[in-house]
Amino acid sequence: MSVFYKKRFAPLLLLACTGAYSCSSSEQAAEETPTSLKEAAEGDFYIGAALNYDQVYGREEEAVALIKEEFNTISPENMLKMGPIHPEQNVYNFEPADKYVAFGEENDMFTIGHTLVWHSQAPDWIFVDKEGNTVGRDTLLQRMEDHIATVAGRYKGKIDGWDVVNEALEDDGSLRQTKWLEIIGEEYLQKAFEFAKEADPEAELYYNDYSLWKPAKREAAVHLVKNLQEKGIQVDGVGMQGHYGIDYPSLEDIEASINAFADLGVKVMITELDVDLLPNPSNRQGADIAMTFEPQEGFNPYAEGLPDSVQQKLTRRYADLFELFHKHRDKISRVTFWGVADKHSWLNDWPMEGRRSYPLLFDRDYQPKPAYEAVMEAVSE
């Protein structure tokens, strides 16, 4: 019996077990079987998805219904990033973010804010004056503080956790050379967390990055968080972006990072989870959105559909990942997919436009793939 069959007929099974009727042990077991991802993982960690504009505006009814049914935490794909919400000085575009936050409130979801400080999708104006010259340290700090106070302050008590700083590290463990670092210096990390704490003292505050399974980057992130902790700065968790491939990273490397961050006394979150099945034009193992390529022959192999053999590999990969997450459920507070269904995935257009990707648990028709059943089984044990 499939999970979705159980969803449809569970009420009938319950009715049959009342009144003059009695239930067999198999019928009782069917009724007790979890019927959604969030129910299967209840008591272990939140299960979430990243929402796009159409979903928060209610324009994708099937997707909205799926989100409400399966998930209990949400993240915004773009509507809370600095560029989209603060495109010009003293100009804010709050409507999409308001709808996103309202969706979380209406559906009693653990709502994530993504992200307050990031080198990408930052508006050009924030780093320059009216003449186009690079601003000084004090000016940029003031602009950062104003942005965080305005945005995090607006959603005080409504957004439960913020990705305060996103992707501040290179894969080799060095600090990423960004305008934030160039103008302010390394202190920008501390200041971002301080400003976020001032704007909403009750919200959880996170550092979020990709490829944190790589030893050098793992060690650098541990150092970053320790450094902030030693200065008395609140850091509640580390978000390990789960932009994984079908054959990388190893479970051992992921597990080593889960343990390393948990040892800091902070929550560990698997964020932005997806599994890329498509050939890689650069042998990249991360999520640097600046790395793009022109379409090339041979890099869109599943344009007509996913072969069963590859579907089976995806199923096994997700089973392995969630068996690991379930094992460390005492350390992991949240697992969030980067998208709802395959049709929404950013991997359809990155690092090449027009590719047909299959990285999530639900297909383009919002139907559960075999990997869904594998995840349900892994977290229900």
pLDDT at 153: 98
Could you tell me if 310 and 293 lie in one domain? Answer: yes
Q: How far apart are CA 270 and CA 47, in angstroms?
A: 10
pLDDT at 291: 58
* Residue scoring higher pLDDT (297 or 360): 360
CB atoms within 10 A of CB 167: 23
Could you tell me if 11 and 108 lie in one domain? Answer: no
Q: How far apart are CA 315 and CA 369, in angstroms?
A: 8
Examine the pLDDT at 339 and tell me if it is beyond 50.
yes
pLDDT at 11: 38
**What angle is formed at CA 195 by the lines to CA 151 and CA 179, rounded to 5 degrees?**
85
pLDDT at 351: 63
Task: Write down the residue that tokens 């793009």 correspond to.
Answer: 292
What is the arithmetic mean of pLDDT over 257-271?
98
Could you tell me if 46 and 91 lie in one domain? Answer: yes
pLDDT at 99: 98
Could you tell me if 3 and 49 lie in one domain? Answer: no
Q: How far apart are CA 31 and CA 296, in angstroms?
A: 50
Could you tell me if 174 and 109 lie in one domain? Answer: yes
**What's the N-to-C CA distance of the chain in angstroms?**
17
Could you tell me if 221 and 241 lie in one domain? Answer: yes
Question: Which range marks the domain in which residue 274 is found?
Answer: 35-380
What is the arithmetic mean of pLDDT over 122-151?
98
Tens of pLDDT, residues 151-168: 999 999 999 999 999 999
Q: Could you tell me which residues are beta bridge partners of residue 113?
A: 162
Q: Which residues belong to the active site?
A: 167, 272
For residue 149, give the CATH number of its domain: 3.20.20.80
Could you tell me if 23 and 54 lie in one domain? Answer: no
Could you tell me if 75 and 27 lie in one domain? Answer: no
Could you tell me if 279 and 310 lie in one domain? Answer: yes
Structure tokens at 241: 């972006």
Could you tell me if 7 and 67 lie in one domain? Answer: no
| Structural domains of the chain, count | 2
Examine the pLDDT at 368 and tell me if it is beyond 80.
yes
Phi, psi of 133 (to 5 degrees): -85, 145
pLDDT band at 355 (very low <50, low <70, confident <90, very high): confident
Tens of pLDDT, residues 89-122: 999 999 999 999 999 999 999 999 999 999 999 9
Could you tell me if 267 and 225 lie in one domain? Answer: yes
pLDDT band at 352 (very low <50, low <70, confident <90, very high): low
pLDDT at 293: 55
Shortest CA distance to 334 belongs to which of 287, 272, 247?
272
Cβ atoms of residues 225 and 207 within 8 Å: yes
pLDDT at 304: 84
pLDDT at 280: 74
Residue type, 112: I
Q: Percentage of residues in the chain with pLDDT exceeding 70?
A: 86
Examine the pLDDT at 359 and tell me if it is beyond 60.
yes
Tens of pLDDT, residues 280-307: 766 555 555 555 555 655 577 688 889 9
User: What is the chain's alpha carbon radius of gyration, rounded to the nearest angstrom?
Assistant: 22
Could you tell me if 220 and 335 lie in one domain? Answer: yes
pLDDT at 9: 34
